[in-house]
Structure 1
Amino acid sequence: MYWADELAARVSGPQVVNDSKTPSGTVHVGSLRGPVIHDAITRALRARGIPVEFRYGVEDLDAMDAQALLTPDAVERYMGVPLSRVPAPEGSDAPNYARHFVGTLFFPTFARLGIRPEFYWLSEIYPTGKMDPFIRTALDKAQLIRDLYVRVSNVERPSGWLPIQVICEACGRIGTTLADDWDGSTVHYRCLPDYVTWAKGCGHEGRIAPFGGAAKMPFNVEWAAKWSLMGITIEGCGKDLATKGGSRDRSEAISREIFDREPPINVMYEFLNVGGKKMSTSKGRGAAAHAVAASIPGDVLRFLFLRPRPNQAIDFDPAGTDAIPRLHDEYDRISAATAGATVRGELPADHDRLHFYSQVADGSAEAAKVTAAAWRPAFGQLALLLQLPGVDATARAAAEKGTPLTAPEQAELTERVDAVTHWLADYAPDEAKIAVRDELPVDLVAQLSGEERAWLLNLADRVDAARAAGTPLETGEAWQGLIFSAAKEGGLQPVRAFASLYAAFLGRTNGPRAGWLLAALAPSFITERLRSAAAVAGVAA
């Protein structure tokens, strides 16, 4: 049983699924794993008829802190200020920094992936007073929380430390304040110049009622409070928060012992790695989520995150590699298998459910199977076609399919053309970029052997013969078959046959699948180039 279905089978009664994000800067593509996982859980619950709400929160009262400093987006003069009160970058129409990076750039990727939670912002929750009862409880039980930190995580807070972060009335910073006295109505706090290394407090000191948005709880206490406030029953988290004695353990203990509530079910998920290293917003490593989501169709990007179980890491390096084409190929393989076709290689368990949850459209399993059966062009073949001048992608796709494209197939082709265009412009390695030479690359062709020269001429003869017989070669498969057949007939190893073709047409000895290259070129141009190459090498044409 697919992991999301397993989880849905274990619960009963209405469920509230939650996920959240601190908007510390440009959000990397790895941060989409949590939303996709939680969306799959939500769909699995709905599929079983379980009432479910899916919420996604933004922790925008958090300070611009050391995490933001490690991105190119930090603003020195606002270090320590709540992210909701930091101005948006110059040129942005967003009202603040958090709304720019999450609201303007990150959230639009959700719709592209079919993720439709109810969004909330903590900068809007706190002023309503909904957090006030939890703030009061936490302050009344401050000693218990300090003891809990020691017991669960071996983290010792100063004896006067209080679980509250006040927004300084003088300078507006929240990351530099320390509250040290609670009288049941107000807290005493100081804005310390040296409290943290990444921001400097103004030195102000005062008392304030920490309610109605004047302060916020520290993350672990706030996390547990949200579980109670919103009735959250399922919320996963990244591996870094789920270590023994770590942030999740602290929040679960606070939930049970301070707020008297059993914590939600946890689905721990691993990182998305690039070159073996975790992608991180705070470290600026990895491609921006909005950029990658614009470059990969939603179904395929969902597939990237849902293919492994949540507790398995994902290695994905889109820049300068063939990772994106290979991802599309694997998605196509799983789609074909879901439609009932025989495919090469071992299939993952419950591959049909993997395909179902990968769909942007939140429809039925039957609808997903119809989608799986649709014809789609291979990513690599499309990348080849789009680099050839004058090629009609729709006409070539219909030729490869053998019948006109349906409306859904045409829509998918359009989406893939866009994805391939982005890949070629932003991510493709140099070897994937080709250009058919207008003139014969004489210097390279002259280095071909006698066998290779003879083979090129033989191939030209066979192409002309096929045209004369009224059986022109129209598909990449047909051309590929002819190339292999001609090479076998001439006793030439396929690797040498293909290298000679690349030399004649591309001016190099490697390239894409030659059959699809030739299928996109005019037959008269092909035979003329083959005969010219043979003639330059010394074989009569």
Structure 2
Amino acid sequence: MSRPSGAPSSAGRRATRSSSAPPAATRPIPSSRSAESARPALRPAFHEGSRSMYWADELAAAASGPQVVNDSKTPSGTVHVGSLRGVVLHDAIYRAFRARGLEAQFRYGIEDLDPMDNQALLSGDAVERFMGVPLAHVPAPAGSSAPSYARHFADLFLATFAGLGIRPEVYWMSEQYGSGAMDPFIARALDQAAAIRRIYRTVSTVDHPATWLPVSVICETCGRSGTTLASDWDGREVSYACLPRLVTWATGCGASGRTSPFGGRAKLVWNVDWAARWSLVGATIEGCGKDLATKGGSRDRADAISRQVFEREPPTNVPYEFLTIGGRKMSTSQGSGAAAHEIAALLPPELLRFLFLRHKPRRALEFDPQGDTVPGLFDEFDRVAAATAGREVRGELPPDADRIFAASLDDPAADPAVEAGRFRPPFRHLTLLVQVPGVDLASRMEAEKGAPLDGPEAAAAERRVTVARRWLADAAPERYKVDVQPELPREVVRLADEQRLFLEALALAAERERPASGDAWQDLIFRTSQAGGLSSGAAFGALYVSFLDRTNGPRAGWLLASLDPTFVVARLRDAAGAIGQPGPGPEEAAS
């Protein structure tokens, strides 16, 4: 087959070898400077903790000249929420560059020419038929209006970006290959296949045979690329074989032939494609997950290929840790983990950004929507907001709390001081209020603020109420669900004398101090139990039995704050005065 017009000529390739970079290609990705001349004006690697400033600001301070922040994703199935970490981190870097006055662009690639190599969302005959086929060529799932499997899942993921205030320039690798924009890099890689084999061998001890070429041809018979092996590059075409047993996850058809690798007929293998893409888009900074950044791993290979084959300094790397559930890494290709679009629909955008930005990139994050992550995330965000607003908060704050808060806002133009000063109803309190029949939520929130809520505050409060109800219905542990007993539970007769004295003392203190917030109630509970020499466990146990007829529950202070004060005091006195058989000791009663 003849090479398409966009492919370089032999003379062009000879000229390339004597120049300092791959030949320029007409490509649909605009750049503030050419890929050939682009050099990251940054340190070659980013190391956290070398300065006291916020990590993204540190990167911006080390940069000069135009910057291109790049990131990408293979849409191999439902994209889990952990994949948003890279997106949010790169956006934070982009914002830091812009805030410093640097010319900056944020580009995001969809690697939709990668082959389907998982079975997360296909079943039956569809799995057998399309494994090994480029994702852009796989039909969309039944019922989807998307033109392909890749577009269906990529669009779900990309739709979460705008709500988070993230608006990168998106490019699709199937289009870059199909348009011929990648042809010069394919030609250079094939011309220097021996150098690439040497890099694999010396950097990663991966030894490819002398006939191996760094491209995956799309089989002209079955359409698979994950099962083909290319050889014999003559400057125009390559030979290929579609092998039945090349990989374990797909079966090649056995066909063979010769074809041009240009114009979307082939794709560079992963590490070579990565290095070529940096030149294609002019990337000056691109982080990656820690699995790719291990010594001798994918990033080291791509860096070496960028320098030695494409003659371009690779972009600065910002390695980042995984988001895990129960200590296990989320995986798109295995279909594990909470879906990004579902979590984005659940959490307010500033909370989702905060999840990824409250710790440095090297810190592993645990996210379990069915555990304590969601209420804990709201608690920590509110503490950081309060500190940013200049209010005193308990406990240790993360370094650069004000910068973390500002970076978490979905609107980069918002005034952090104004936003931090807004009233936010505590999420844990809301999870209780929405479970109590007859509560006027708007009135309770106005009473807690001490003034009417303004427009943004009312909207944020309504969003939190929605999150609380949805989380309770779909994910919350049982201990967060309450059923306040209308009558005094019979089990209160088993409370120890010390616990009854505590309940009576708490009733007196509540009448005197009139606590309204969960924090105020929690503080009063601790002070009252300490004054009576009762352990906190025994004190909380007495409260849970008295109100919920069980020995555990949500934070007791927020539970009491969600109830009518008159009812609370009356129930405390009724429980304190309940007489039955002599109860066990307070520690036994609390267990």
2:558 matches 1:506: no
Q: Which residue of 2 aligns with 1:226?
A: 277
Give unpaired runs (5+ residues) of structure 1: none
2:505 and 2:274 map into 1 onto residues whose CA distance is 72
Question: Which moves more between the two structures, 274-283 or 208-217?
Answer: 274-283
The letter of the residue matching 1:334 is V
2:250 pairs with one of 172, 175, 199: 199
2:230 pairs with one of 154, 174, 179: 179
Q: Which residue of 2 aligns with 1:291?
A: 342
Map 1:335-374; keep pairs closer than 5 Å.
Answer: 335-363=385-413, 367-374=415-422
Aligned to 1:26, the other structure's residue is in SS state: coil
* TM-score (normalizing by structure 1): 0.90
What count of residue pairs does the alignment treat as equivalent?
Answer: 526
1:427 pairs with one of 475, 490, 495: 475
Aligned to 1:94, the other structure's residue is in SS state: coil
2:444 matches 1:396: yes
Contact 1:165 1:217 in 2 (8 A): yes
1:262 pairs with one of 291, 313, 316: 313
Contact 2:385 2:405 in 1 (8 A): yes
1:452 and 1:345 map into 2 onto residues whose CA distance is 29
* TM-score (normalizing by structure 2): 0.83
Contact 1:186 1:207 in 2 (8 A): yes
1:116 and 1:232 map into 2 onto residues whose CA distance is 17
1:309 and 1:489 map into 2 onto residues whose CA distance is 41
Q: Which residue of 2 aligns with 1:445?
A: 492
2:85 matches 1:38: no
Contact 2:323 2:367 in 1 (8 A): no
Instruction: Deviation per CA, 1:95-154: give whole Å up to 9, x if none.
Output: 2211122212x1122122211111111111111111111111111222222222212222
1:502 and 1:287 map into 2 onto residues whose CA distance is 32
Question: Which moves more between the two structures, 449-458 or 328-337?
Answer: 449-458
Following superposition, the deviation at residue 522 of structure 1 comes to 3.3
1:16 and 1:195 map into 2 onto residues whose CA distance is 37
Instruction: Deviation per CA, 1:466-502: give whole Å up to 9, x if none.
Output: 7xxxx96654456556656766787766554443332
Q: Which residue of 2 aligns with 1:323?
A: 373
1:357/1:472 CA distance change after superposition, 3 Å? closer
Contact 2:322 2:329 in 1 (8 A): yes
Q: Which residue of 2 aligns with 1:127?
A: 178
The letter of the residue matching 1:228 is S
Contact 2:429 2:562 in 1 (8 A): no
Following superposition, the deviation at residue 451 of structure 1 comes to 4.9
1:192/1:408 CA distance change after superposition, 3 Å? same
Q: Which residue of 2 aligns with 1:408?
A: 456
Q: Which residue of 2 aligns with 1:208?
A: 259
1:295/1:143 CA distance change after superposition, 3 Å? same
2:527 and 2:189 map into 1 onto residues whose CA distance is 78
Q: Which residue of 2 aligns with 1:273?
A: 324
The letter of the residue matching 2:133 is V
Question: Which moves more between the two structures, 31-40 or 428-437?
Answer: 428-437
Aligned to 1:136, the other structure's residue is in SS state: helix
1:41/1:489 CA distance change after superposition, 3 Å? closer
1:487 and 1:154 map into 2 onto residues whose CA distance is 64
Aligned to 1:206, the other structure's residue is in SS state: strand
1:186/1:278 CA distance change after superposition, 3 Å? same
Instruction: Deviation per CA, 1:338-394: give whole Å up to 9, x if none.
Output: 111222223322221111111111125xx0121111121222111111111222222
Following superposition, the deviation at residue 333 of structure 1 comes to 1.3
The letter of the residue matching 2:104 is V
RMSD of aligned residue pairs (Cα, Å): 2.5
Q: Which residue of 2 aligns with 1:153?
A: 204
Map 1:459-498; keep pairs closer than 5 Å.
Answer: 474-476=516-518, 479=521, 495-498=537-540
1:514/1:154 CA distance change after superposition, 3 Å? closer
Q: Which residue of 2 aligns with 1:99?
A: 151
Contact 1:319 1:426 in 2 (8 A): no
1:242/1:488 CA distance change after superposition, 3 Å? closer
Question: Which moves more between the two structures, 488-497 or 288-297?
Answer: 488-497
Give unpaired runs (5+ residues) of structure 2: 1-52, 582-591
Following superposition, the deviation at residue 462 of structure 1 comes to 7.2
1:477/1:154 CA distance change after superposition, 3 Å? closer
Q: Which residue of 2 aligns with 1:386?
A: 434
Following superposition, the deviation at residue 82 of structure 1 comes to 0.5
Instruction: Deviation per CA, 1:57-112: give whole Å up to 9, x if none.
Output: 111111111xx23x3546232100011111222222222211122212x1122122
Following superposition, the deviation at residue 419 of structure 1 comes to 2.2
2:342 and 2:534 map into 1 onto residues whose CA distance is 45
2:67 matches 1:25: no
1:181/1:397 CA distance change after superposition, 3 Å? same
1:491/1:199 CA distance change after superposition, 3 Å? closer
Following superposition, the deviation at residue 450 of structure 1 comes to 4.2
Question: Which moves more between the two structures, 183-192 or 284-293?
Answer: 284-293
Q: Which residue of 2 aligns with 1:16?
A: 68
1:237 and 1:481 map into 2 onto residues whose CA distance is 44
1:420 and 1:231 map into 2 onto residues whose CA distance is 44
Aligned to 2:219, the other structure's residue is in SS state: coil
1:458/1:13 CA distance change after superposition, 3 Å? closer
Contact 2:106 2:169 in 1 (8 A): yes
Following superposition, the deviation at residue 452 of structure 1 comes to 4.1
2:88 and 2:554 map into 1 onto residues whose CA distance is 33
1:454 and 1:245 map into 2 onto residues whose CA distance is 66
Contact 2:326 2:368 in 1 (8 A): no
2:427 matches 1:375: no
Instruction: Deviation per CA, 1:232-276: give whole Å up to 9, x if none.
Output: 111111111111221111111211221121111111112223333
Aligned to 1:294, the other structure's residue is in SS state: helix
Contact 2:386 2:392 in 1 (8 A): yes
Contact 1:149 1:156 in 2 (8 A): yes
The letter of the residue matching 1:445 is V
1:178 and 1:250 map into 2 onto residues whose CA distance is 20
Instruction: Deviation per CA, 1:378-411: give whole Å up to 9, x if none.
Output: 2211111111122222221211122111222112
Q: Which residue of 1 aligns with 2:101?
A: 49
Contact 1:319 1:429 in 2 (8 A): no
Following superposition, the deviation at residue 6 of structure 1 comes to 0.9
1:6 and 1:483 map into 2 onto residues whose CA distance is 44
Aligned to 2:232, the other structure's residue is in SS state: strand
